[in-house]
Amino acid sequence: MLQAYKYRMYPSRGQVPLLMQHIHACRFVYNHSLEQKIRAYEQDGQKLSCFDLNNRLPALKEEHPWLKEVNSQSLQIANKNLDNAFTRFFREKKGFPLFKSKKNPVQSFQVPQHYAVNFGRHQIKLPKIGEIRTIFHRMFSGKMKSATVSVTSTGTWFVSILVDDGNPAPAPAPFSSKTTLGIDVGLTDFATLSTGEKVGNPRNLRKSLGRLKCLQRRLSRKKKGSKNRQKAIRKLARCHEKVANQRNDFLHNLSFRVVSENQAIAVESLNVSGMQKNHNLALSIGDASWSTFFTMLEYKCRKYGKTLLAIGRFDPSSKICHQCGHLKRDLTLSDREWVCPDCGTHHDRDINAAINIKKFALQEQNLVGVAGAERAIEPVDLPQ
């Protein structure tokens, strides 16, 4: 089973330029190869493979001698990443590969092999760079695959090591209605569980907007190219990084707790990108990071042998009474509570939706019968 281990690196002042040189070189090769592929297809109808791009690297190094100072395998893996990007584009029919910018908040390069890890001395040795002090806060065992070195906009360095421990992925554990949890995500409360528990939305970005606006105004007053402007950029980047770290910490803790306590988790597949087109709610939806939360649930379920169930985005989970199955068609987004006209049950909109998400997912698995009225299929009320 493959697993990545991420560690903090502390390169010396002399090693930082070497690391940045590798980042710039890999970005340069990636953009050059992308240009060559586009030009070859437009002019000659020729499709350049990864093998063809790697064969052009020696000539590119003669044209740009500074590329010879970089690990050759890191340049080759840049072409491999480009080839994989085109494969995903043709397979999924979206996301044409774009040119990489040096202004991206996270820059990285890969080292496929010939690197060494020393846990005792807390060092990692990279080719053509040397030994770098690294904090190994946890050990690993297995065959080391590729290593990815990255730097954030605040100048923080990390290395992510992909390890194959040789063990197969655990088989999903059997689950039932009692060991399945339904989750309904929202903005007022980040998540509502089918058990009735509500997890509050931390709103990390909202709480930091005042500080971010202040730092952004200070940055706009600085002269371009000055050292004070660079200091203001770093302060702004540190504030953004703090918000991202707070959000990731919350999502990791919640997803790990949910996966650990249940054998199966049922969620609703949402069109988050479409919902963010509503400019009144785009900031709040982005701050909640529902897609990141679902991604964490997916890989943690796969890692710990749990099952992730997903229902369709058009299933009316909020409009159906989970007791009798009555469909309340006139329910609007502003109705947070409602009473079923058939059985008289008082519903909290979010708790009712979480219970229905669990029921719908189990019905698709043929674990529970369809109770009450026929399950209706109609679009739910999305933010407009």
- Give the model confidence (pLDDT) of 218-239 as tens digits: 999 999 999 999 999 999 999 9
**Cβ-based burial of 167 (10 A; exposed 0-12, middle 13-18, buried ≥19):** exposed
Least confident of 119-123, 309-313, 363-367: 363-367
pLDDT in tens, 244-276: 999 999 999 999 999 999 999 999 988 888 988
Whole-number Å distance between alpha carbons of 188 and 284: 10
Which secondary-structure segment (H or E) carries 17? helix 15-44
Q: Is the pLDDT of residue 29 over 50?
A: yes
Q: What is the three-class DSSP state of 57?
A: helix
Check whether 294 has a pLDDT greater than 90: yes
Which tokens is 70 given?
């970089």
Q: Higher pLDDT residue, 166 or 236?
A: 236
Sign, Cα dihedral of 131, 132, 135, 139: negative
Highest mean pLDDT of the ranges 93-97, 368-372, 376-380: 93-97
In angstroms, rounded to a whole number, what is the distance separating the alpha carbons of residues 266 and 185? Answer: 11
Specify the pLDDT at position 375.
33
> What residues are paired with 184 via a beta bridge?
192
> How far apart (Å, rounded) are the C-alpha atoms in residues 354 and 196?
8
| Minimum mean pLDDT range among 146-150, 329-333, 347-351, 370-374 | 370-374
Say which DSSP state 66 is in.
G
How far apart CA 215 and CA 239 sit, in angstroms, is 9
Give the number of residues written for the chain.
Answer: 384
Task: Identify which of 114, 135, 111 has the alpha carbon closest to the alpha carbon of residue 123.
Answer: 135
Q: Is the pLDDT of residue 379 over 80?
A: no
**pLDDT tens digits, 363-376:** 876 565 433 333 33
10 Å CB burial of residue 17 (0-12, 13-18, 19+) is exposed
How far apart are the C-alpha atoms of 49 and 35, rounded to whole Å? 13
Q: Taking Cα atoms as reference points, which of 16, 108, 29 lies closest to residue 68? A: 29
Domain limits, the chain = 2-164, 169-201+257-384
| Residue recorded with tokens 């990084």 | 241
Q: Rounded to an integer, what distance in angstroms lies between the CA atom of residue 154 and that of residue 157?
A: 9
Average pLDDT over residues 121-132: 95
- Would you state the pLDDT for residue 366? 58
Query: Looking at residue 156, what is its pLDDT?
Result: 95
- What pLDDT was estimated at residue 94? 80
Distance between CA 68 and CA 186 in Å, rounded? 52
Cβ distance 299 to 308 under 8 Å? no
Tell me what pLDDT residue 336 has.
Answer: 83
Tokens, residue 206: 């909202």
Where in the sequence numbering do the catalytic residues fall? 184, 268, 350
What is residue 327's DSSP assignment?
A: B
Residue 378 has pLDDT above 70, yes or no: no
Q: What is the pLDDT of residue 371?
A: 36
- The rounded distance, in Å, linking the Cα atoms of 35 and 30 is 9
Q: How far apart are CA 259 and CA 308, in angstroms?
A: 9
For the segment 117-138, the average pLDDT, to the nearest whole number, is: 95
pLDDT at 331: 82
Q: What is the mean pLDDT of residues 284-312?
A: 93
**The pLDDT of residue 330:** 81
Q: Cα 241 to the chain's mean position, in Å?
A: 15
Q: Which two tokens stand for residue 217?
A: 């105004």
DSSP letter for each residue of 119-167: TTTTEEEETTTEEEEEE--S---SEEEEEEEEE-TTS-EEEEEEEE-SP
Give the C-alpha separation, 37 to 87, whole Å: 13
pLDDT for 354 beyond 80: yes
Note the Cα 311 to chain centre separation in Å. 21
The closest alpha carbon to 65, from 21, 130, 99, belongs to 21
Residue bearing the bigger pLDDT, 129 or 332: 129
Q: What is the pLDDT of residue 13?
A: 94
Determine the pLDDT at residue 384.
Answer: 32
What backbone torsions phi and psi does residue 240 show, to the nearest 5 degrees? -65, -40
In the numeric block, which tokens belong to residue 60? 């590119």
- Please, what is the average pLDDT of the chain? 89
pLDDT band, residue 151 (cuts 50/70/90):
very high
In whole angstroms, how far apart are CA 347 and each of 16, 30, 261, 332, 338? 58, 55, 25, 14, 5
